[in-house]
């Protein structure tokens, strides 16, 4: 494990994990297997607390809703932001106080709004974020009069992948040009308590422009609308995936973001998800097939895009380590899983120590949108997950079987 302290910015690399421990866990629990270092999660949370001591710090649950992860961030004093009613339920099951939760509605189904308004009636500290006049109408129809943040679309703010550059997407928030008008309507027409403005710029923001710029744009709205006491800049901070990626300097990012709010009397809120968990997990998988071709060697493993969806969905890069044979001569490989589709491919033409059938491979930086994007396509049951903490390990997610799948079906 990495020895980085709470103020450091060094990312936990796929090569930093102890090979003997990984081999033991794979032998004991089988593969594919997620392994999550909860001590690393704590380090990441503490680094954010050091950089943003006065901010309202919320963990964006959608990155990883595992009970062990959420219980850990709660234990470190972080609040949780949820994008769905069932995420709120999972957060409370992990120990979250509903009065400290924030629900950010995105085209919310009626059931979600029913549940959240009922929860707010019992726990009036629950905060709701709305990004459409229609959502405001639906909340008013249900009798909601509580704390509300207005989600504003800040315009295009860059992320690491087009699918994550949501700032420009009309799905997320009221148009920037109407933000002042809508903020006033929240107070005057809907009679909600407007506690803040929210914007989701992008996931995996670099901090060189995007996070401070999103804050700056919200500050301009706050000045014109008046009475805004919080600026909530959603979207995560960048995490290194490739070997030449640099970790974000969260202290410098915090300084820039605070400077963007100097002209408004509003507290900063942040919602990192990926930054907290991405480098805290590995995915272990076994080599089962080797096929020589005129080009790269085709290598088959027991993990698939049902286990780790990001490469197929987003073209994402994950570092890969040959745990069993790290010192072998490198060869170019194309690596894929057992699902019968060409999109079930993790990498193409990548140099890797030559794999042998039975080798244990590890995918790095899979803690964000890894386990939570798994599916049962091809009747592939969900993988198990082991958590590491304080030198011990324990199963925190049981491996499912085809019997578990069939138990939920009827003829």
DSSP result, 152-219: EE------SSGGG-GGG-TTSSEEGGGHHHHHHHHHHTS--EEEEEEEE--TTB-SSSHHHHHHHHHH
Average pLDDT over residues 259-271: 93
Residue 381 has, within 13 A of its CA and on its CB side, a CA count of 17
The Cα-based distances of 46 to 11, 59, 398 in angstroms read 14, 12, 29
Q: State residue 12's pLDDT score.
A: 77
Average pLDDT, the chain: 90
Residues 6+ apart with CB under 8 A from 257: 211, 212, 215, 233, 268
Q: What is the pTM of this model?
A: 0.92
Q: Is residue 11 very low, low, confident or very high in pLDDT (cuts 50, 70, 90)?
A: low
Tokens 């324990």 belong to 394
Domain architecture of the chain: domains with CATH: 97-272 (3.20.20.10), 279-406 (2.40.37.10)
Q: What are the phi and psi torsion angles at 191 (to 5°)?
A: 60, 30
Q: Which of 110, 122, 340, 407 is catalytic?
A: 340
Give per-residue pLDDT as tens, 114-147: 999 999 999 999 999 999 999 999 999 999 999 9
Average pLDDT over residues 323-337: 96
Note if 340 is an active site residue. yes
Average pLDDT over residues 281-299: 94
Q: What are the phi and psi torsion angles at 396 (to 5°)?
A: -115, -10
| 61 pLDDT more than 60 | yes
Give per-residue pLDDT as tens, 159-183: 443 333 444 456 788 999 999 999 9
């Amino acid at each position: 494990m990495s020895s980085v302290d709470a103020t450091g910015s060094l990312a936990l690399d796929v090569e930093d994990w102890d090979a003997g421990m990984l081999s033991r866990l794979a032998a004991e629990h089988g593969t594919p297997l997620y392994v999550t270092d909860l001590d690393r999660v704590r380090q990441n949370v503490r680094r954010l607390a050091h950089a943003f001591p006065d901010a309202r710090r919320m963990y964006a649950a959608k990155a990883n809703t595992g009970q062990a992860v959420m219980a850990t961030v709660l234990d470190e004093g972080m609040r949780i932001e949820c994008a769905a009613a069932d995420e709120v339920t999972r957060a409370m099951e992990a120990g979250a106080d509903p009065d400290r939760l924030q629900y950010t509605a995105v085209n919310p189904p009626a059931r979600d709004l029913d549940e959240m308004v009922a929860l707010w009636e019992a726990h009036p500290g629950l905060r709701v974020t709305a990004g459409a006049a229609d959502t405001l109408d639906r909340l008013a129809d249900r009798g909601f009069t509580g704390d509300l943040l207005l989600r504003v679309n800040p315009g295009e703010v860059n992320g690491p992948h087009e699918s994550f550059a949501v700032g420009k997407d009309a799905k997320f928030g009221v148009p920037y040009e109407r933000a002042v008008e809508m903020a006033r309507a929240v107070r005057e027409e809907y009679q909600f308590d407007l506690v803040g403005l929210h914007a989701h710029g992008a996931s995996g923001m670099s901090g060189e422009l995007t996070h401070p710029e999103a804050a700056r744009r919200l500050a301009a709205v706050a000045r014109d609308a008046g009475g805004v006491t919080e600026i909530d800049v959603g979207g995560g901070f960048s995490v290194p995936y490739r070997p030449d990626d640099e970790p974000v300097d969260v202290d410098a990012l915090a300084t820039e973001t605070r400077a963007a709010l100097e002209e408004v009397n509003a507290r900063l809120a942040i919602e990192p998800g990926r930054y907290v968990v991405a480098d805290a997990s590995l995915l272990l998988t076994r080599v089962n097939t080797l096929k020589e071709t005129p080009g790269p060697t085709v290598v088959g493993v027991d993990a698939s895009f049902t286990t780790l969806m990001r490469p197929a969905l987003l073209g994402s890069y994950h570092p890969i380590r040959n745990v069993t044979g790290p010192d072998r001569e490198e060869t170019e490989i194309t690596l894929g899983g057992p699902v019968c589709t060409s999109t079930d491919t993790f990498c193409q033409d990548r140099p890797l120590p030559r794999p042998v059938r039975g080798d244990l491979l590890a995918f790095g930086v899979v803690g964000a949108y890894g386990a939570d994007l798994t599916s049962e396509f091809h009747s592939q049951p969900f993988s198990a997950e082991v958590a590491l903490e304080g030198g011990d390990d324990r199963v925190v997610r049981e491996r499912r079987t085809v019997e578990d799948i069939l138990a939920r079906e009827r003829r």
